Structure 1
Amino acid sequence: MEEQGKGKKLPALNIVSTKVNHKGFGAGSIDLSNVSGIIIDAGEAYVDDGTLHAKSKIEKGIKFSPNKEDVPNGRKCWIVWVAVDRTEEGAYYAGLAACEMLIDTEARRGWKILADHVNRMDKAMKRHILVEGLDDAEKAALKKALEGHNADWWARSEAAQQAL
C-alpha cells in the first residue's frame, strides 16, 4: 500500500485469506479476513480498520442509541462493508453493503442499529450489493475510494460498477 505524507501507512482493505478451511473446533465460524469497512462522512470515503470492532475514527467516544430521536443534531455517516473475493483473473470487490449512522460528535451521541450492521456485513460477505440508501455524492465517493485503493480490483468488479 502506498504511504501518505510523513511515512504514515494508509489503511488497507484486507486481502482474501489463503487459509484452508478445516473441520473441527471453530468450523462454521465466520471468516472476516476478506471484509473491511469504508466510512463515508461529509462526502469523503476512506478505509477504517476499526470498523469491524465498532471502533472506527467516527465511532470512538460515541454513545450509541437505537432511537434516532436521541440524536437530533446528528450528521449522516455510513459504514460500507466491502467483501473481496478472487477469481482466476484476480481479486475483485464482490460484496458491498451500506449501513447508515447518525453521529453528533459534539454531544458524543450516535444512532445505529447494530443488528442491521451485522446483517448487512453478512450480506456483503455473501456477495450482495446493497447501496440503495447512498445518494449520488456518497456513491461517487465510495467509487473513488474503491478505485483508488486498487484499480485492477475495481476493473473486475462488474456488479459494483453497475451499482455505483
Structure 2
Amino acid sequence: MEEQPKKKLGFNIIKNDPTEGHGGYGAGVLTLDNIAPVIIDIEAGEAAVDIGAMHARSTVERGIKFLKTKEEVPNAKPYWLVWVTIELTQAGPMYAGVTACEMTVDREIRRGYKSLPEHVNRMDKSLKRKIIVDHMDDRSKEILATFLMNHDAGMWERSSEELKQGLTVQ
C-alpha cells in the first residue's frame, strides 16, 4: 500500500468583511484584503505593487537567500518594501497605513539582506493605520509619493497630513 503524502496546512485569508452578517466565525479578524506591498527600486526610480511580497515571493525576492546582516552582501542593490493599507471612508478610499522596510539584493551571487521580523512587524503596523516612512532616503520618498499620487490622486488627497508630510522632501 502506497503512503499518501501529508497534507500541508494552508493559511486562510478571510475575504470580505469578517464582521459582516451574523458576527460569528471570523468576527474581529484582521483582513488582508486592503493591504498591498509596493516594491521601490531606488536605482531605477520605479515603484510597483507586487502581491508576491505578501508571502516573501516578490519578483525581487525570488531565488535569493537572505542573510542576517547588510555587511554580508556589500554589492547589493537597495530596495524598499512598503506596506500600503487602504481604508474606505465616507468621502472615499484613502491611504491609511504606510510603512517601509529596507531590503537589499545581489542577483549575481543570489544573496540579499532583509529583516523578516521587521517586515512582519511593519505589515502589522500598516494594518493598524501607522505611518512609518521617516527613515527612508529622499529619493525613495519622492518615488513613493509620486507612485501613490499617480495611482489615485483622490486617495492621496483624502490621506492624512502625517503621510503627506512624511513623504515631503525639503
1:63 to 62, 65, 68: 65
Over 3 Å counting, the alpha-carbon distance change for 1:108 and 1:153 in structure 2 is same
1:87 to 86, 89, 93: 89
Q: Which amino acid aligns with 2:17?
A: K
CA distance in structure 2 between the aligned counterparts of 1:70 and 1:106, rounded to whole angstroms: 14
SS at match of 1:144: helix
TM-score normalised according to structure 1 size = 0.83
SS at match of 2:147: helix
Q: Which residue of the partner structure matches residue 35 of structure 1?
A: 35
CA distance in structure 1 between the aligned counterparts of 2:18 and 2:29, rounded to whole angstroms: 13
Instruction: Quote the offset at 1:133 in angstroms.
Output: 1.9
Q: Which residue of the partner structure matches residue 107 of structure 1?
A: 109
Q: Which amino acid aligns with 1:85?
A: E
Q: Which residue of the partner structure matches residue 144 of structure 2?
A: 142
Q: Which amino acid aligns with 1:162?
A: Q
Instruction: Give the structure with higher Rg (CA).
Output: 2
Over 3 Å counting, the alpha-carbon distance change for 1:70 and 1:30 in structure 2 is farther
Ranges in structure 1 where 5+ consecutive residues have no aligned partner:
1-16
Ranges in structure 2 where 5+ consecutive residues have no aligned partner:
1-14
CA distance in structure 2 between the aligned counterparts of 1:44 and 1:145, rounded to whole angstroms: 8
> What do the CA deviations read for 1:78-130 (whole angstroms, capped 9, x no partner)?
10000000111010000100000111111110111100000001111111100
Instruction: Work out the percentage of aligned pairs sharing the same amino acid.
Output: 48
Q: Which amino acid aligns with 2:87?
A: D
CA distance in structure 2 between the aligned counterparts of 1:20 and 1:113, rounded to whole angstroms: 30
SS at match of 2:79: strand
Q: Which runs of 4+ in 1 moved over 4 A?
A: 26-29
CA RMSD of aligned residues (A): 1.5
Q: Which residue of the partner structure matches residue 24 of structure 2?
A: 23
CA distance in structure 2 between the aligned counterparts of 1:49 and 1:163, rounded to whole angstroms: 24
Report the count of equivalent residues.
Answer: 147
CA distance in structure 2 between the aligned counterparts of 1:28 and 1:70, rounded to whole angstroms: 42
1:77 aligns with 2:79: yes
1:160 to 153, 159, 163: 163
Instruction: Quote the offset at 1:27 in angstroms.
Output: 4.7
Instruction: Quote the offset at 1:30 in angstroms.
Output: 3.4
Instruction: Quote the offset at 1:49 in angstroms.
Output: 1.6
CA distance in structure 1 between the aligned counterparts of 2:138 and 2:150, rounded to whole angstroms: 18
